[in-house]
Amino acid sequence: MLIRSLIIFLSLCQFAFAHELKPAIANLDFTTNKSEINFVLKIQLNLEAVIAGIEPTHENTNESKNSTRYEELRRYSPESLAVEYEKIKHSLFEKIHLGHQGQKIQYQENLITINPIGDVSLARETEIVLKGSFLNNNSQLKFNWDSSYGSIVLRANKDNKELFTKYLKTGDAAIFPVSEPLQQSFVSVVKDYVIIGFQHIVPKGLDHILFVVGLFLLSTKFRPLIWQISAFTLAHTLTIFLGVLHIIKIPPAIVEPIIAISIAYIAIENIFLKDLTRWRPIVVFVFGLLHGLGFAGILNEIGVSETYFVTSLISFNIGVELGQLAVISACFLLIGLWFGKKNWYRMYLTIPLSAIIAIIGLVWFVQRISL
């Protein structure tokens, strides 16, 4: 049973360097011009995944049968990737649908921006800008894109005023009027942001997962775990709010390496500590502040509903907490329940697993400071 649990844990760790598939983000801006409405649609997406045909059923590209092609494209220069983009551009545009009165609106490509290669273990972002216009007759619009491209966050604005922000799961469509803001229900906003928060932990937030696992491994006793999780939760809740409100601004280039080193530090400390110390919750609190800024960065990318601003933040945070509880529950069911009271627990589980987590954290740190 011990060997089996170790194998399960290691199988999860093998995706430490996997290429996470994130939702695309679409910014749809409308401007009124007499009898016409002009629009600019900016889509931020993982272009390599689209070209390689990575299926949305996978959580990361390494799970796909087309992962080898993705790896190859990830090493292309922006110029070389642009050549590959030209080959699939027509097909891509056919699968991006913006409809008006039952008819697809015609648009044209205005610009494509492909970022430099950077760290090949991380997804590269590409932005495609489309432009078009349609008659202003107060009818509704419909936006969706092909289910093969996965989920997308749609943010719509008219004359610099928010219409709505909507998380569209794979295959979903958004139907909305351009004449006035879409009245999203309270329940809809809560559901969307809880899902986004949860998915940012499970299954997509492996760095946050490993940090929480590191907290669990110190001791299977209830009190030390509660102290650590409470400190972590309080800290990241605080900086989620401060980060989204732009009261605190720290570039991701600084935050992400420190998150990686926090994982390594907690894991290394597990090797030398036998129980909770006075300073451990303080250290966890400080690191939690940085993890919260990472969460805030995700929310700033996706956007927060202006109408339900506080509700969106609280719902996202609830999703994050549910994700953490899912991780702790999994740790308890796989490890704590079976081996937590064994006298060899620390020697054969805490120390080896903490060592693995520490190595992953240190490798991530080196990768992230190399960007």
pLDDT score at 283: 94
In the block, tokens 């090949």 appear at 120
For 209-265, how does the pLDDT look when each residue is reduced to its tens digit (9 = 90+)?
A: 999 999 999 887 888 888 999 999 999 999 999 999 989 988 888 898 999 999 999
Q: Tokens 């619009």 map to which residue?
A: 141
The domain locations on the chain are 24-183, 193-369
CA dist 206 and 256 (Å) reads 13
What pLDDT shows up at residue 34? Answer: 76
Q: Tell me whether residue 119 is exposed, middle or buried, using C-beta atoms within 10 angstroms of its C-beta: 0 to 12, 13 to 18, 19 or more.
A: middle
- Residue 274 and residue 295: Cα distance in Å, rounded? 31
pLDDT of residue 290: 93
Dihedral over alpha carbons 365, 367, 370, 371 (to 10 degrees): -110
Using 50 as the pLDDT threshold, list the residues of the chain that sit under it: 1-19
**The pLDDT of residue 7:** 45
131: helix, strand or coil: strand
In tens, the pLDDT along 51-73 reads 999 887 766 666 678 888 998 99
- Residue 293's pLDDT is 92
Predicted local confidence at residue 59, as pLDDT = 61
Which pLDDT score is estimated for 2?
A: 45
Lateral strand order in the sheet of 161-168: 107-114, 126-135, 36-45, 24-33, 152-158, 161-168
pLDDT, residue 1, reads 46
